Amino acid sequence: MSETLFQACGIARWRQQDCWPAAVLDGRAHYDADVRHPLATPIDGSALGWLGHATLSHTHLGINSAHNAYLSWRLIPAPQRGQLIACIAGKLRARRAALATLITLESGKILGEAEGEVQEWLDMCDFAVGLSRQLHGLTIASERAEHLLLEQWQPLGVVAVITAFNFPVAVWAWNAMLALVCGNAVIWKPSEQTPLCALAVQALVSEALQECQAPAGLCQLVNGDAATGGQLVADPRVALISATGSCAMGLAVAQGAARRLARTLLELGGNNAAIVTPSADLALATRAIVFAAAGTCGQRCTTLRRLIVHEDIAPALLAGLVNAYRSLPIGDPRQPGVLVGPLISASARTRMQAALAEAIRDGGELLTGDEQLPVGASNGAYVRPAIVVMPAQTAIVMRETFAPILYVLRYRDFSAAIALNNAVSQGLSSALFSNDLRETGRFIGPAGSDCGLANVNTGTSGAEIGGAFGGEKLTGGGRESGSDAWKNYMRRATNTINAGTALPLAQGLVFGERP
């Protein structure tokens, strides 16, 4: 079955002695004959083959080729660059079902979520094509006669994209579709846990590049570990490093980039909270909370991890949540009706168990989620999502555990609820469930949620591509996807044009003449 799937995704032809490529440079596969890393699906632990890791030479060649491609691509008018994105979208539509199945096989997310991830790439294509005719600057009123003051946005250079396992396609698409249409080249280091999705994407894009007669080096792929990412961060030919992952990883990227004052776009961890007030629609809140906390088996940066609920409504809300959690269909994510698949690895399950044990030592009451779940003869890390009522926001609650654990905190005063929301070091997503206009106004106002995403009567996850996505504090401050996030991939140039014969100076300065 896997071999047929690989063929449908366009990557079977890149296998060599059962080893997947270490790199795909200029559309050609490169192998590391000396190092092979095993790949397995989190669904049941079965083998998917072996993977080479890019050598220093592979990564160097990839950056160099991307830089050379950028030098010519930046001269192509933006609407023509948009035609490449439209070609990519056409090829993606022909392979969307196969790619979604591959995402499920390699990441363990349910098929419905995988299909949504492919749709997100398509949505980004549509957005980028429209953007290709709207990369606009400004005309600014000059204080000097016969002068024009303009602001333009120019292509930036080579954009390195480092992605995580939980969204093995969509996050790359957020970056790559905008970077390409803005006139840049892209080099991608995907997660070591989902390299086959990256190979499938690269195969599709390579076909589009060839069909559109675009430079082959526009999109490069290097499979590897942290050392490969470090090489991308350190190379002066890389103009921007866009990295998605843990806060610790982002700090390392930021520190490495700072040594050469390189640009970074960081989308890091999120310890997201939702506040539920007495005026909330509890049926609506329950549905939103379950999806936000248990979807993708708790492995989204926007996963709901802290529930801050008014003490008067806590018993009713928790009763509904516990019933919903105990009825969640958990199992093979390829099967119809399943809503929660496996964690990405056994080590992720171990971290979840350790976090629950610490929460209980801190006085937490575990309402559900204290068991591992054998799924058939599977070796997958299946767990029941957990709900833990905590006496206070202890150290374990303040840390993000990338697993389906929902910590419940009670509050009496709305100001205290906002303070709990803002008390953690991350600032990605937040939510408020309330039908009180004053509470809503405070939550989204300057003294409310300090997160990049502040939602009302909807959950913390599931953002649309039209809005800028990202967060504050240790989440990194980056913004991707919609709105004006495209400006991250361009450099700003302010132009002053003297259309006259005199030389007036700004601020009325007189230089070299006696008053």
Residues 379 and 460 in one domain: yes
CATH number at residue 70: 3.40.605.10
Average pLDDT over residues 368-386: 84
Same domain, 79 and 225: yes
Question: Do residue 123 and residue 83 come from a single domain?
Answer: yes
Q: What is the pLDDT of residues 112-125, one digit of tens each?
A: 999 999 999 999 99
Q: Are strands 158-162 and 185-189 parallel, antiparallel or unpaired?
A: parallel
| pLDDT tops 90 at residue 513 | no
Residues 213 and 321 grouped into a single domain: no
Q: What pLDDT is recorded for position 18?
A: 73
Q: How far are the Cα atoms of 51, 276, 315, 316 from residue 312, in angstroms, in the given order?
A: 54, 11, 8, 9
Q: Quickly tell me which residue has 């600014």 as its tokens.
A: 140
**Would you state the pLDDT for residue 138?**
97
**What CATH number is attached to the domain comprising 280?**
3.40.309.10
Whether 503 is in a domain gets the answer no
Q: Which two tokens stand for residue 47?
A: 């083998």
Residues 6+ apart with CB under 8 A from 383: 297, 330, 343, 349, 352, 369, 371, 372, 373, 403, 404
Please report whether residue 427 resides in a domain.
yes
Q: Where does residue 18 rank: exposed (0-12), middle (13-18), buried (19+ CB within 10 A)?
A: exposed
Catalytic residue among 197, 219, 297, 301: 301
Residue 346, H or E segment: helix 346-361
Query: Which residue segment(s) compose the domain that 259 sits in?
Result: 2-268+476-493
209-224 exposure pattern, b = at least 16 Cβ within 10 A, e = fewer: beebebbbbbbbbbbb
DSSP 450-475: -SSEEEESS-SS---TTSEE--EETT
254 lies in the same domain as 343: no
Residues 225, 53: contact at Cβ < 8 Å?
A: yes
Q: Within this chain, do residues 332 and 224 fall inside the same structural domain, yes or no?
A: no
User: In percent, how much of the chain has pLDDT > 90?
Assistant: 92
Strands 263-267, 238-244: parallel, antiparallel or unpaired by DSSP? parallel
Q: Binning pLDDT at 50, 70 and 90, where does residue 287 land? A: very high
Answer yes or no: do 155 and 291 share one domain.
Answer: no
Residue 463 clears pLDDT 80, i.e. is over it: yes
Residue 377 has pLDDT above 70, yes or no: no
Q: Yes or no: say if 187 and 158 are a contact pair by the CB < 8 Å rule.
A: yes
Confidence band, pLDDT 50/70/90 cuts, at residue 512: confident
59 versus 35: the higher-pLDDT residue is 59
Q: Is 308 found in the same domain as 255?
A: no
Look at 310 and 11; give whichever has higher pLDDT. 310
What is the pLDDT at residue 15? 61
Q: Strands of 98-228 (E only): list them.
A: 138-140, 147-155, 158-162, 185-189, 219-222
Helix/strand/coil percent split, the chain, to 5: 40, 20, 35
CA distance linking residue 427 with residue 447, whole number of Å: 14
Is pLDDT larger for residue 251 or for residue 13? 251
Render pLDDT for 189-240 as a digit per residue (tens, 0 to 9). Answer: 999 999 999 999 999 999 999 999 999 999 999 999 999 999 999 999 999 9
* Residue 282 to residue 13: CA distance in whole angstroms: 52
Among the listed residues 224, 221, 240, the one whose alpha carbon sits nearest the alpha carbon of residue 62: 221
Asked if residue 230 and residue 90 are part of one domain, the reply reads yes
Q: Say how many domains are in the chain.
A: 2
Residue-by-residue DSSP string for 490-503: EEEEEEEEE-SSS-
**DSSP string across 14-69:** G-BTTEE-SEEETTEEE--SS--EEEE-TTT--EEEEE----HHHHHHHHHHHHHH
Query: Has residue 506 been placed in a domain?
Result: no
Q: Does residue 456 belong to any structural domain of this protein?
A: yes
Q: What local confidence, expressed as pLDDT, does residue 149 receive? A: 97
Whether residues 446 and 485 share a domain: the answer is: no
- Residues 253, 362: one domain? no
381/407 same-domain check: yes
Please state the rounded mean pLDDT for residues 139-153.
Answer: 96
Mean pLDDT of 267-274: 97
Q: Which of 453, 2, 122, 334 is nearest to 11 (CA)?
A: 2
Say what the pLDDT of residue 226 is: 95
CA dihedral 456, 461, 467, 471 (to 10 degrees): 90
Per-residue pLDDT, 168: 98
360 burial (CB, 10 Å; 0-12 / 13-18 / 19+) is middle
Please indicate, yes or no, if residue 248 is contained in any of the structural domains: yes
**pLDDT of 515 strictly over 60:** no
Query: Active-site residue 301, yes or no?
Result: yes
DSSP-derived secondary structure letter, 507? G
Parallel, antiparallel, or unpaired for β 47-51 and 37-40? Answer: antiparallel
Does the pLDDT at position 1 exceed 80? no
Condensed to tens digits (0 to 9), the pLDDT of residues 58-67 reads 999 999 999 9
Selected catalytic residue, list 106, 117, 267, 439: 267
Domain-embedded: residue 515:
no
**Within the chain, how many helices (H) and strands (E) appear?**
14, 24
What global pTM score does this model have? Answer: 0.96
Check whether 13 has a pLDDT greater than 70. Answer: no
Q: What is the pLDDT of residue 139?
A: 97
Average pLDDT over residues 328-353: 96
pLDDT at 16 over 70: no
- Helices 226-234 and 56-73: crossing angle in degrees, nearest 10, is 40
